Amino acid sequence: MKLGRRATTTLALLGTTVLMTAVQTVSAQAHDASLRDLAKQRGIRIGTAVNVDALADDSQYASVVGDQFNSVTAENVMKWETVEPSPGTFDFAPADTLVRYAARHHQEVRGHTLLWHNQLPGWLTDGVADGSITADDLRDILHRHITAEVSHFKGKIYQWDVVNEVLNEDGTLRDSIWSQKLGDSFIADAFRWAHQADPHAKLFLNDYNIESKGAKSDAYYDLVKRLRAQGVPIDGVGFQGHLDIQYDFPSDLADNMARFDALGLATSVTEADVRIPLPADEADLTRQASDYSGMLAACLATEHCTSFTVWGFTDAYSWVPGTFEGEGAANLYDESYQPKPAYTAVADTLAKQRPGHGHHGGHRH
């Protein structure tokens, strides 16, 4: 998802009583451990998408990223428009900043994303539109881009979102420059090329609105079965987890993840947030906390769910208000870096030793 502008009104719209309740709830939690310490005990990675500008300019932001998470995802700086702003000219400097930060803080890095229909540079989309980039050219460009980026970060990325958001809600192939020129062959190609460039990285398909069983998630299930039957090196499926309290929680998420698990695939929750129509009240924050807990519990109940990543942790830098008018307050921390009930719910879910899903003795793969 694209980074939104800095939110300025999200939690200012909450009453003082609600804010104090959130702070008091967290301060009364029974454990003092960080999320990353609790996650380590469960054998899972707990991650956040990172705004690299905020990482450099906001010391409080940088402190929470390092203290609370053992996995980080580049929110924008590994996307094509940043990495290859002109043909064959690569700029990895902003992403390298995040990778160095992660190494200093003993964190692992999820790569996001090698192929998407959004945030592409103008030279690429314009070239396809005016016909100066042919189908053969486009395939070569994609091969070069994936090889260059994955090779640059070889050994430093534990999971790549190789192909992002390629299906429509009805399960058909999304109309994009890729499908227009290459049909659906680019999906298998992208995975093969990424694997050639770094054979040890785990390679994922990633999408939203696949948390529940239905046309879209069924189509992904069929797609990964077909790709694996062809020997395509796909390792996992990412369930983004962009929820909204206006809609029912996807109560079949664990069952849905289990069927992908049964295919021998890893799973991850990759972009979790839970947006709220503003102003948010205490009941809204309680519901939000329940949704976060439910998504994490589904991951913990799935044998090969390897990571749970939130799409930004503070409302101060959320993409939601800039994308969903009148909505916000979607993250674990408010704009002032105060933990919300959602933070407590995630911590409590990690700390809880449920029968059959306790200590896993290190990272799950």
Short-list 311, 276, 262, 280, CA closest to 110: 311
Which are the contacts of 149, defined by CB distance < 8 A and separation ≥ 6? 78, 83, 84, 90, 92, 111, 114
User: What are 112's strand-pairing partners?
Assistant: 161
Query: Which residues lie closer than 8 Å to 242 by C-beta, 6 or more apart?
Result: 1, 208, 271, 272, 273, 275, 311
Compute how many other C-beta atoms are within 10 angstroms of the C-beta atom of residue 3.
22
Whether 265 contacts 304, CB under 8 Å: yes
Q: Which of 165, 211, 327, 335 is catalytic?
A: 165
Catalytic-residue membership of 169? no
Angstrom CA distances, 277 to 20, 47, 211, 288, 324, stand at 20, 25, 21, 11, 9
Select which of 84, 108, 211, 271 is catalytic.
Answer: 271
The answer to whether residues 7 and 320 touch, using CB atoms and an 8 Å cutoff, is yes
Active site residue 327: no
Task: Report the C-alpha gap between 314 and 26 in whole angstroms.
Answer: 15
Query: How far is it, in rounded angstroms, from Cα 189 to Cα 337?
Result: 42
Residues with a catalytic annotation lie at 165, 271
